[in-house]
Structure 1
Amino acid sequence: MDSPPDPSSERPPEPPREPILTLPGPLTAYIGLLAAIHVMWSSVPPDLEYWIIEAFGFIPKRYDPSLLATAFPGGSGAKVWTFVTYSLLHANLSHIGFNILWLLPFGSALARRFGGFRFFLFMAVAAVAGAAAHLVTHEHSIAPMIGASGSVSGAMAASIRFAFAQGSFLSFGRGDADAAAQVPALSLTRALQNPRVLAFLAVWFGINIIFGMGSIAIGSEPGSVAWQAHMGGFMAGLLLFSLFDPVPRPARDPDDASSGADHF
């Protein structure tokens, strides 16, 4: 007598789960772009290298409206494109390496959630916010600022809106990267009440204040850290995340509803 078929043998195989540490395509492309630009820039003669810094780095003095304003390469166009292009240049391997190291876990989560177009647009917006913060605090500085740290800081801030939520990357409850990237985000109010988010913010601000890891100003202030750009990018990522997020959230969080808190 034949034994009855095992029901489990008739189930369709589960789709393969993508490991958390596998880099998504948009992040791989972004890192590849940074690396390619750095390799090409590093291979040019010194005179051309510094011309590129002045034409594509962010120089606050470029926006000085006085009659004694300094003329920089790039003309009027550079007043527009340098709000983003500065984030694609890096001073050396350690500079680009630190930025990529910070970007790997948080940028991976964000790229999976946003997809390619939203991810690149978000990184550009965070770069603009970082440059704006630097301009406000260094109005007459002639030292070019370069580095992706404003964008990286924005990606880190945006990712904490969902990476600490139950079932996401930092909740220690998933091995499926794509599913972890699609969990509903926390409202800004809830995020700022989460102990792990608060601990992360304390560490992040502490690192920026104490070690100043990230963007570097080249020129009259060699090796100085543009930490204000980090703050600008970070605040943009934290506050503008919902404008980019394609994952719908419940209309009202139960905990927020009881306190009358709004969603952001």
Structure 2
Amino acid sequence: METPEPNPKKSRWQWLDAIPDPVAAVALALTILQLATALAPVRAVRRLWRLVEVSPARIARAAEAGDWAGLVRPYLGHMFFHINLVHYVVNLTAILTAGTLVFREMQAKTAPGKSDPAAAFIAFFLLCGMAGAFAFVALNPKTYMPMIGASGAAAGLFGAVVLMIARRDWSALPLAGAAKTIFVTVAISTALVIVNYALFALFDSLLDLLQSNKLMLSRIPGWRSQLNIWLGGGSAWQAHAGGYLFGLVAFPLFERMARSSR
């Protein structure tokens, strides 16, 4: 009689195996650059950010001067850097969560050995981020205020997830086909807008409270600068909206791209 093999001991890092390689590659790139900027001299980091941040007025000036590098570089480079640790952690969490779902959906509909879901995912991620940057520039054409971070790309991944949910069979809804998908998409998107607005309002209120003299923080030397390092920076909602809408609309195209032969 054979004795059953003992259950293998589960590693505390087993959850890492659930993250697809393309998603892990994006997360690793963001992490390496975040560590590099955290350790680099502040002056060097600010100079680097100036090269990659999306500043609509400076981009317009680059276009007028025929500076194609200055025109294109911000659209691609801005999404790999983050203004502070909280910004990085929030975007990384969103990318790991939504990115895993998006890649698995692409992978599930591919023919083994004949398609490349990894390339489709990376292209989708980058174009979501670029769409967010385009939206930020289009809605703030004359401002020098810069925007940086992978928020637009992360929002695009969530747009794809919302579409994936909306396409499922919602038997409780007395609607058919496309009408059902549209209704669920609009309902979830509206709920996300409300939740995002509430969270950002709560965050702003918390930041105002921390910066007020009502707390003992005012007795800590350099407390305002530390708050800005860890929690500072405004929300570029235009980039969130642009990336989200692109991800919502364009995801089926990248699904087909993932299915196509090499």
**Pairing partner for 1:210 from 184, 198, 202:** 198
1:245–1:149 CA distance, 2 compared to 1 (3 A): same
Q: Report how far residue 189 of structure 1 moved.
A: 4.5
1:226–1:243 CA distance, 2 compared to 1 (3 A): same
Higher helix share: 2
**Aligned partners of 1:161 and 1:188 also within 8 Å:** no
Per-residue CA deviation, residues 205-255 of structure 1 (Å, 9 max, x unaligned), is: 1133333499xxx9xxx622110110000110111112111378xxxxxxx
**Pairing partner for 2:43 from 44, 47, 52:** 47
Q: What is the letter of the counterpart of residue 110 of structure 1?
A: V
Q: Report how far residue 104 of structure 1 moved.
A: 2.8
**Aligned partners of 1:153 and 1:230 also within 8 Å:** yes
Q: Report how far residue 188 of structure 1 moved.
A: 6.1
Per-residue CA deviation, residues 82-106 of structure 1 (Å, 9 max, x unaligned), is: 1121011101111111112222332
Per-residue CA deviation, residues 47-81 of structure 1 (Å, 9 max, x unaligned), is: 11101111011111113359xx8x9xxx5402102
**Aligned partners of 2:83 and 2:233 also within 8 Å:** no
Q: Report how far residue 26 of structure 1 moved.
A: 1.1
Q: Report how far residue 198 of structure 1 moved.
A: 4.5
May I ask how many residue pairs the two structures share in their alignment?
201
Larger relative contact order (CA 8 Å, sep ≥ 6): 2
Structure 1, unaligned runs of 5 or more: 1-18, 172-185, 249-264
Measure, in 1, the Cα distance between the counterparts of 2:163 and 2:191.
16
**Aligned partners of 1:212 and 1:227 also within 8 Å:** no
Q: Which residue of 1 aligns with 2:82?
A: 90
1:236–1:211 CA distance, 2 compared to 1 (3 A): same
1:37–1:189 CA distance, 2 compared to 1 (3 A): farther
Q: Which residue of 1 aligns with 2:224?
A: none
Q: Which residue of 2 aligns with 1:113?
A: 105
Q: Runs of 4 or more off by more than 3 Å in structure 1?
A: 163-167, 186-190, 210-214
Q: Report how far residue 163 of structure 1 moved.
A: 3.7
Percent pairwise identity: 24
Q: What's the TM-score, normalizing by structure 2?
A: 0.67
Q: What is the letter of the counterpart of residue 205 of structure 1?
A: V
Q: Which residue of 1 aligns with 2:158?
A: 156
Measure, in 1, the Cα distance between the counterparts of 2:177 and 2:144.
40
